[in-house]
Amino acid sequence: MASAGVGRGRVRVAVVGDVHNDWTLEEDSKALHFLQPDLVLFTGDYGNENVQLVKSISDLQLPKAAILGNHDCWHTYQFSEKKVDRVQLQLESLGEQHVGYKCLDFPTIKLSVVGGRPFSCGGNRIFRPKLLSKWYGVNDMAESAKRIYDAATNAPKEHAVILLAHNGPTGLGSRMEDICGRDWVAGGGDHGDPDLEQAISDLQRETGVSIPLVVFGHMHKSLAYGRGLRKMIAFGANRTIYLNGAVVPRVNHAQSSRQPAISTSEKTGLEGLTGLMVPTSRAFTIVDLFEGAVEKISEVWVTVGDARTELEQELVLYKQPREHI
């Protein structure tokens, strides 16, 4: 798949939505190098405090930024002094690439990634409040919004800012199929993060910070109880585009598009017997930007095997109207 990074001002961002244990460094590295991104963004929920998987993500040899989700602190609420603090181990593994309440600059592409609230589970209540207070000194939504705001104002003036959060903001709809809509209760509801909406609103009203893109996950594309598919794109003020990257599950263990899917254990067994990599299809969301504005967004599936890596499917979610190009 041809990179967008040809010529001045073109940038390609690859989004890896909620992983939920579906990540293999060798295969995902092959897929990402095929896609040729300038930057990789991870939306969290790597596993239920799956430290080894997070360490594997930190070993990816591409520029990247990540945030921890609610599943990445699934057990730590117990605060047992006798157990290893797996949240701390994940944060240490990611180092500066974890952008919770921080601004991470990428000068060569004139982009800064600003992180939202770590550990978010959506809605009006802070998830794991003791944990958030311990690590970040944040105790309520107002403090959280201020921390996101302050981080964004630290971006260089010539940089566009991408906000990376585990969950999206409030204000983008309350139907089940909306980008942050509750799909597990009758009647739906807005399950976004109010602190993220407040931070974005304040930034757009009070500063000159350019925010072409807000990236998050948490609210899976497939709705609960087989109710259909979620809208993964939304549009806001000042040409800001909101992108939900949570295509879950993001890996299809299949030998080809014409053959039935196989389980992870079957895949591992076959590879042990044959010594060959059983092909998998892996999901990413690709964002192409030009001069700080979003040109195109696609959900892509890349097939990775021993012999070759190839694009299996591309679903275009957004294409900039011709008059803006």
Residue 2's pLDDT is 62
pLDDT in tens, 208-266: 999 999 999 999 999 999 999 999 999 999 999 999 999 999 999 865 444 455 555 55
80 burial level (CB within 10 Å; 0-12, 13-18, 19+): exposed
What letter does residue 257 receive in the DSSP assignment?
Answer: T
CA gap 325, 320 in Å, rounded: 7
What is the pTM assigned to this prediction? 0.91
Burial state string for 281-309 with b = 16 or more CB within 10 A and e = fewer than 16: bbbbbbbbbbebbbbbbbbbbbbbbeeeb
CA gap 212, 242 in Å, rounded: 9
Q: Which domains does the chain have, with CATH numbers?
A: 10-324 (3.60.21.10)
Could you read off the pLDDT tens digit of each residue along the chain, which spans 325 residues? 766 544 348 999 999 999 999 999 999 999 999 999 999 999 999 999 999 999 999 999 999 999 999 999 998 755 555 567 999 999 999 999 999 999 999 999 999 999 999 999 999 999 999 999 999 999 999 999 999 999 999 999 999 999 999 999 999 999 999 999 999 999 999 999 999 999 999 999 999 999 999 999 999 999 999 999 999 999 999 999 999 999 999 999 865 444 455 555 555 555 555 567 789 999 999 999 999 999 999 999 999 998 899 999 999 999 998 765 5
Transcribe 279-305 into DSSP letters: PEEEEEEEEEEETTEEEEEEEEEEEE-
**What are residue 167's phi and psi, to 5 degrees?**
-125, 155
Residues linked to residue 29 through DSSP beta bridges, in sequence order:
none
